Amino acid sequence: MPRLTPSLTFAALLGAATPAFAASEGARIEGTWMAIGDMLGVLPGHIEVLTIAGDRATSVTWRAPAGDCGAQPAAPGCVLPIPTASGAFRGNSFEIGIEPDGANASPFAGEEVAPLWPLLALDGAPWTLFRQDGRLMTTREATIAETTIPMIRLWLQVDPALPGALYDYLVTFDLDIARALCPVSTLHADPQAWEALSATLIAAAPVLEGQRIAVSGLAPPPAAAESEAAEAFALLADLAAEDAEPPEGVTLLPGLPWPASQAMADAAQDCLDRAFGG
């Protein structure tokens, strides 16, 4: 059964109460936008990235492999990212969507959950749009298990190099992708904290990618990387192992071992409690 979370509660627990989001009249929605989720517990956790440039848009998805990539290198999730939509961008102050160039892919092709992907696909029905600075909240209704519920996606504006590095990091350290939505969205609300995490993940990206590939069974662990990447990865590894002692007044975020204030940790935990039951 899916998790059914009322839309107003869901928006609030993400740290963005609905009244704070406004129709983005006159604002251009360009750049790279990242969404993390599992569609109310129905789909595997994944990261989708929407890139908008003028009147064109593309979407790609990072998701866990469906099987052993060493035995089935062509299995869904073994080659990343997965192209999921491309076409003309259709957007105004209240709605967004993609008018596809042709038949687009599903990141869950060949799996039992594949028929559910269109409920979130950007090339489906238009999404109602609300915007708050570097965040978008998109909503539309869908029917799951004979129940009509509001589908919600929270999109965070990010550096184009960040989503792949974040995915590799979550897989490398065996962190829950869907639950990462709470600590990630909490950090994103603080520009200084977000910049620190983004810079570290992007710096460590060469090592993280190699580790993720090795975890998938496609290649042996990577050779030694350049010093900056190795140092950034070592920091992430120490934090994940809780070997690094945070400064006084700082704690590690639940679901994402990254130093933050106690207030941010409490906000992330509150989100996890309400969205995932703890």
pLDDT per residue over 161-172, tens digit each?
999 999 999 999
Q: Is the pLDDT assigned to residue 137 strictly greater than 70?
A: yes
How far apart CA 252 and CA 259 sit, in angstroms, is 4
Percentage of the chain beyond pLDDT 70 is 87
- At residue 168, what is the residue type? D
- What pLDDT score was predicted for residue 76? 79
5 vs 253, more confident: 253
Q: For the CA atoms of 252, 258, 259, 262, what is the dihedral angle to 10 degrees? A: -50
Among the residue ranges 38-47, 109-118, 237-246, the one predicted with the least confidence is 237-246
Q: Which residue type occupies 27?
A: A
Dihedral, CA atoms, 27, 28, 33, 39, nearest 10 degrees? 70
pLDDT-derived band at 220 (thresholds 50, 70, 90) equals low
pLDDT classification of 258: cutoffs 50, 70, 90: very high
Give 239-248 contacts, CB < 8 A, sequence gap 24+: 240/173, 240/175
> What's the average model confidence in pLDDT over 54-76?
87
Query: In the prediction, which pLDDT does 104 show?
Result: 72
Give the whole-angstrom CA distance, residue 80 versus residue 64: 9
What mean pLDDT do residues 248-261 have? Answer: 92
Rounded Cα–Cα distance for residues 136 and 129 (Å): 7
Q: What is the mean pLDDT of residues 248-255?
A: 90
HSE at residue 255, side-chain half, CA atoms within 13 A, is: 25
DSSP 261-275: EHHHHHHHHHHHHHH
pLDDT attached to residue 2? 62
Tell me, what's the pLDDT at 217? 78
pLDDT value, residue 3: 67
Q: How far is CA 184 from CA 201, 233, 277, in A?
A: 12, 18, 18
102, 165, 175, 180 from 276: Cα distances, Å: 36, 24, 14, 11
